[in-house]
Amino acid sequence: MIAFIFPGQGSQYAGMGRVFADNFPVARQTFVEASDTLGLDMADLCFNGPEEALRLTTNTQPAILTASIAVWRVVQQEIGLTAAYAAGHSLGEYSALVAAGALEFSDAVRTVRQRGAFMQEAVPVGVGAMAAVIGLDGEELAAVCREAAQGEVVAPANFNSPGQVVIAGHAEAVERASALAKQRGAKRALLLPVSAPFHCALMAPAGERLRTVLAGVEIHPLSVPVVTNVEAEPNIDPVRVRELLVAQVSAPVRWEESVRRMEELGVTRFIELGPGKVLTGLIKRIANNAAGQGVEDLAGLKAL
């Protein structure tokens, strides 16, 4: 049984998707569709950068979505491969919903550009931070965060894999939690080069602004269940999609649980569609009886 998985922010790089656009009209058209929707040359942004432009959250989110859907469309056309489940890491959940037929691509790319702006504007630059903590389990780290908060916000934001959890919140609280985590046995606590503290309570205002946007987006029936970041459970109900996407902005990404749940449901192959191989690397650390495989270039497509 196969699951399609889609990358999130941090997987972007200049050149992503170019080889697919050069070789497959359906991929080329995906970039044109995104450009027409946003009034922004998405092919130029994805293929040429520069990196500083690609790192801007309002650009990063639609760029990764577009590159991922270009790859997914090529896989559909050239191989005709179908999956039993779809999932994505944070932003990648929008790619999964496009693949499941719940969202039109143009609606998704428009929504994630606004999502990126809302998330960036929710917290002034420098007020928030995120850090990757290596070597503590989620429960231990949640306790550390509660102790370090001291009236501020800091909490687990991404449960990525065993012993790899990202925390987010007020910058000083994140620093306190990082130091305390190392005292409690964490191997490392590394501040991440991000522009906002994603997936924590500080993002709640962004979620409310996103709710207004999503109210105007049509949600179609899902052709396959999408395992959501918020619940780490498959959702097939289109009525729940909006609420889950709103909650996702300020709730932690339960990626490790999501992968384990798909394994329980019978998934034996996770195919990552889009730039980078971050999720494929996480699959190796999470899954006991399943393999991960990335498709971000022609060699990956041929291997698939």
Active site residue 220: no
- DSSP type of residue 220: P
Residues 6+ apart with CB under 8 A from 183: none
In 3D space, the residue among 69, 57, 70, 44 whose CA is nearest the CA of residue 113 turns out to be 57
Instruction: Specify the length of the chain in residues.
Output: 304
**What's the rounded Cα separation, in Å, for the pair 127 and 140?**
25
Residues 76-89: b if buried by 16+ CB within 10 A, e if exposed: eeeeeeebbbbbbb
CA 1, chain centre distance (Å): 22
In 3D space, the residue among 282, 202, 247, 293 whose CA is nearest the CA of residue 4 turns out to be 293
In the structure encoding, which two tokens stand for residue 134, read together?
């290596």
- DSSP type of residue 201: G
Which residue of the set 90, 95, 178, 258 is catalytic?
Answer: 90
In the structure encoding, which two tokens stand for residue 8, read together?
């999130």
In the structure encoding, which two tokens stand for residue 64, read together?
């990764």
Active site residue 161: no
Which residue of the set 11, 68, 170, 199 is catalytic?
Answer: 199
Please identify every residue annotated as catalytic: 90, 199
